[in-house]
Chain A
Amino acid sequence: AQTVTQSQPEMSVQEAETVTLSCTYDTSESDYYLFWYKQPPSRQMILVIRQEAYKQQNATENRFSVNFQKAAKSFSLKISDSQLGDAAMYFCAYRSGETSGSRLTFGEGTQLTVNP
């Protein structure tokens, strides 16, 4: 079974600075997808970014980018120019690529605080 680990329960960053959230995963599969979801105080789960394992290029969405290291099974999220609205719980998630419609396996989450 796949597992996802987020080793940083809490992180903080100054507004306008850059922060990196860590995620590692364990799998024997070669084809899979990785995601970062954001959960603000409203508790809504919001997709931040997605990475396909077969792509070598790291995904980028505006101020959010990932560092995907397939051999190391590492998938970190970098938030640049942090804003107060980025404060949330961030979850790393894994989905198998072997079958369509696979479940998401989530990490424990990292609570990000943005200080003004």
Chain B
Amino acid sequence: DSGVTQTPKHLITATGQRVTLRCSPRSGDLSVYWYQQSLDQGLQFLIQYYNGEERAKGNILERFSAQQFPDLHSELNLSSLELGDSALYFCASSVVGLTETQYFGPGTRLLVL
């Protein structure tokens, strides 16, 4: 158990819908990262938050957005869902520092029908 929690574990929805994925980092970790794992794109970095502020953006679509709250949990919002958004979405967290290591949550499996 990495200490990072993600809810829900599974999500099935329809095209055009909006969903919210939630992540709670390990105790003491200020940084939260979101990654998408799909069959055709592999594991890709989406976005990073540090202590409530956006720190870095990767290959995140405009239909996707995220935020980190004062209690450090983070939410990834996916809207206008398409079939191609079906993937495993991981949250990872780390402490601040140059030797930081990212620890991953169990992921949320999203299926868009």
Contacts and interface: CB of A to CB of B under 8 A. Distances in A.
Interface of A: 33, 35, 37, 42-47, 50, 52, 91, 95, 97, 100-106, 108-109
Contact of A43 (B35, B58, B94, B106): B106
Contacts of A47: 101, 103-104
Contacts of A91: 43
Contact of A101 (B2, B94, B104, B109): B94
B70 interface: no
B33 A103 contact: yes
20 contacts: A42-B106, A43-B106, A44-B2, A45-B92, A46-B2, A47-B104, A91-B43, A95-B102, A97-B98, A100-B96, A100-B97, A101-B48, A101-B50, A101-B56, A101-B94, A101-B100, A103-B33, A103-B45, A104-B92, A105-B45
Nearest to B109: A43
Interface in B55-82: 55-56, 58
Contacts of B58: 103
Interface residues of B, number: 29
Contacts, number: 57
Which among A42, A91, A101 has the greatest number of chain B C-beta atoms within 10 A? A101
A37 B90 CA distance: 13
Contacts of B99: 33, 52
A100 B98 contact: yes
A102 B90 contact: no
A77 to B, nearest CB: 16
Given A100-B97, A106-B43, 20 more contacts: A33-B99, A35-B101, A42-B106, A43-B106, A44-B107, A46-B104, A47-B101, A52-B99, A91-B43, A97-B98, A100-B96, A100-B100, A101-B31, A101-B94, A101-B96, A102-B56, A103-B33, A103-B45, A104-B33, A104-B35
Contacts of A33: 99
